[in-house]
Amino acid sequence: MSLRSFAAELLPAALQNLQRGFFVPTSAEPVVEATSFDALTEKLGYLSKPDLRQIREAYRFADSAHLGQFRDSGQPYITHPIAVAGLCADWKLDAQSIMAALMHDTIEDQGVTKTELIEKFGAPTAELVDGLTKLDKLRFSTREENQAESFRKMLLAMSRDVRVILIKLADRLHNMRTMQAVAPNRRQRIARETLDIYAPIAHRLGLNQTYRELQDLCFEMLHPWRHKALTKAVHRARGNRRDIVERSQGEILKAFAQHKIKVQVSGREKNLYSIYRKMREKHAGFAQVNDIFGFRLVVTAPLDCYLALGVLHQLYQPVPGRFKDYIAIPKANGYQSLHTTLQSPLGTAVEVQVRTEAMHAVAEAGVAAHWLYKVNDKSLEKRAPKGKERDRSAAEAQRLSALWLQSLVDIEDETHDPTEFLEHVKFDLYPDAVYVFTPRNKILALPRGATAVDFAYAIHSDVGQHTVAARINGEPAALKSALKSGDVVEIITSTTARPNPAWLNIVRTGRARSKIRHYLKTVENDESQALGEKMFARALLSEGMQVPVDNPEDAEGAALWHQLTRWSGTRNRGELMMDIGLGRKVASIVAKRLTSYMVEAGIKPDPLLLTQGLYSNEEDGVSQGLVFVDGGQGASIQFAPCCKPIPGDDIVGYLGRGEGLLVHNAECPTGKRLFERDSERWMQVEWAEELKRPFETHVFVLVRNGKGALAQVALAIATAEADIAHIDMDPGRAEETIEIRLQISVRDRVHLAAVFRTLRRSPVVQKVSRYKRN
């Protein structure tokens, strides 16, 4: 069949909407459904009279089988098979497919046997119905196994005959269109299943119109309020941009007329789910999504696509890096088009797709177009116009689809577990996902590049919050290790563990990232507020005042806090104290302001308190009060990476702007430079009597270069009961000695001295010392 004959049969339906109005949403309005057999017959004009007689017999059989059965909406059940058959007729499927669509639920719901179907309608039709039948009558250990076996059977039947999946997709599409009467929990479960399985299959086979409509229907079921809001936003944007669209359309048509290139120009609109997904991926609002509207140009030949591209780039300036040639390199489902993004007359970005009529047919109908192209129906051939141009795009898409269908058979040969088979197929549908197992063989899907931390949060947020280590395939692994499909991951937790801020640099899932950020923000706020309270009380003590009561019953105290928060621009006392703890506000300045309010209210400084405050702060000239450090303050108190102070060191605190308290060694050169530049932000800190964790510090070790030198150093440190957090070595190998820079965890200076003594006893160690980074 020539390209023209192929397009003549499929394109009138595919392009019909383009003549009704300029903008046609990509998930176009559904065609009129067949609600009776007479309405279905009107769609079957492309079939022969013998075929129509067989279809009528199949209808009578299905009508009898479903007699007395009703849908959740209250309609007779037979209306559903008729509608499914009508969708198949829109794809111009053959008589066997229409009959199978009419009888697709007879084995599943009414107990009709496959043998009975073979006797009445022949083996091919019976095989199609059997491939569509779920296995509800068989006993499986879990519902998931039942579902997996059903998919396995359907997909393998599809690998033998692609019409199975076409009918199945028509079945699911009609079910999704008529889901209003279904219970909400069941409706959401079916929508999620459709979005995860059926919509990707439709996309993988090039059924893009079906794919987009399934996506939008699932979006409406899963997020009804978001769907409604986006629908209104798109409708408003459509009206707002009509003028620029009509102007651009006119200029494009004029330019192509001047170059004598035949072209059909139509508007295209991104479907709602694609808009929603892009907004989520880019964390953007609706106004930031620029490619909601665009143009589609349909030309007569592949060479004209590139000529059209040249005309467009002469007419409007192209956006660099936004050109894609899917004609030379088709997508995996056979899709072909040129994509380019242009600057419109008003400066907004507009995406334009350029394709031939045959490419457009394949882009919309996918494998259904391939199947129609292969049909040897004489009635179609008689009506088809003559032509020698071959449908190369359909042939290439047919080849790619055949390769994927064959892969299903290969997977089945190696996999006998239906659940494992389904997961293999899912992986094939989502090439950007990895599928990993829990120790109990539960399968989790994660984005490619996901780590053990992502896995932990996918199990449960509490598991993620208390993760300390991981084992992958039975072996210890770093938490930042990227997971691969098939990995068995075990998470090790501790009740005392909590999220590490560094995890934000390694996680890939939004769930893990949001949970970590929420935890850190909550903990940081609480700790910063507690630190701010201590600092403010100490600073107020230096003014001879005590912190006033913040209680609505105490009118005087409440009035003072109201004045202070109004002056500071904070909403309440907690927010003000948090700002002090984070260094956004200086405690002494806030204390002086509150003191002035208290004096105005008749409260005088207490000489005894004033003496205590001055005495406590007279050393080192600090102005923020004394804070005790035990290592358990978390994000509100950090230790300077330049000097890495440990208990026993003389320390001082620097209150960074919005960074909390940073503890430096008193002899740190960096700290001294900061003190000279900004002395008001320094405060006195001391080590608490009871410490809550070990502390890290930098150690320099000079060793004789030789075999096993590093191992002996590590053994000495382990013998002294210290841990190595990081190690760095000089790259040179030819020198007699080599420098090793370590970051080790110790309890205090006494413990560090014990580590040094152990290292010096090692025969390979020549020198050991502590060092500070500038």
Catalytic residues: 108-109
Strand pairing category for 660-665 and 637-639: parallel
Say if CB 244 and CB 348 are below 8 A apart: yes
Exposure of 699 in the CB half-sphere (CA atoms within 13 A) = 31
CB 565 within 8 Å of CB 576: yes
Question: Which spans in 585-724 are helix H?
Answer: 587-600, 607-617, 669-677, 709-719
Whether 663 contacts 687, CB under 8 Å? no
CB atoms under 10 Å from CB of 611, counted, come to: 11
Question: Tokens 């899912």 — which residue?
Answer: 426
Position 694: which residue type? P
Residues 447-468, buried b or exposed e (16+ Cβ, 10 A)?
A: eeebbbbbbbbbeebeebbbbe
Q: What region, left, alpha or beta, does residue 165 occupy, with left being phi > 0 and alpha being psi -120 to 50 degrees?
A: alpha
Q: How far apart are CA 399 and CA 384, in angstroms?
A: 24
Cα-Cα-Cα-Cα dihedral of 375, 377, 381, 382, to 10°? -170
633 bridge partner residues:
none
**Strands 695-704 and 765-770, bridge-based pairing:** antiparallel
Rounded Cα gap, residues 604 and 595, in angstroms: 9
- Buried b / exposed e across 101-119, counting CB within 10 Å, b at 16+? bbbbbbbbeeebeeeebbe
Q: If residue 342 lies in a helix (H) or strand (E), which one and from where to where? A: strand 338-343
Q: Which helix (H) or strand (E) holds 293?
A: strand 293-299
SS3 320: coil
**Measured CA angle at 601 (ends 597, 602), to 5 deg:** 120
φ/ψ (deg, to 5) at 694: -75, 165
Cα–Cα nearest to 130, from 158, 107, 98: 107
User: In this structure, are residues 682 and 622 in contact, taking their beta carbons and an 8 Å threshold?
Assistant: yes
Which residue do the tokens 């141009």 mark? 389
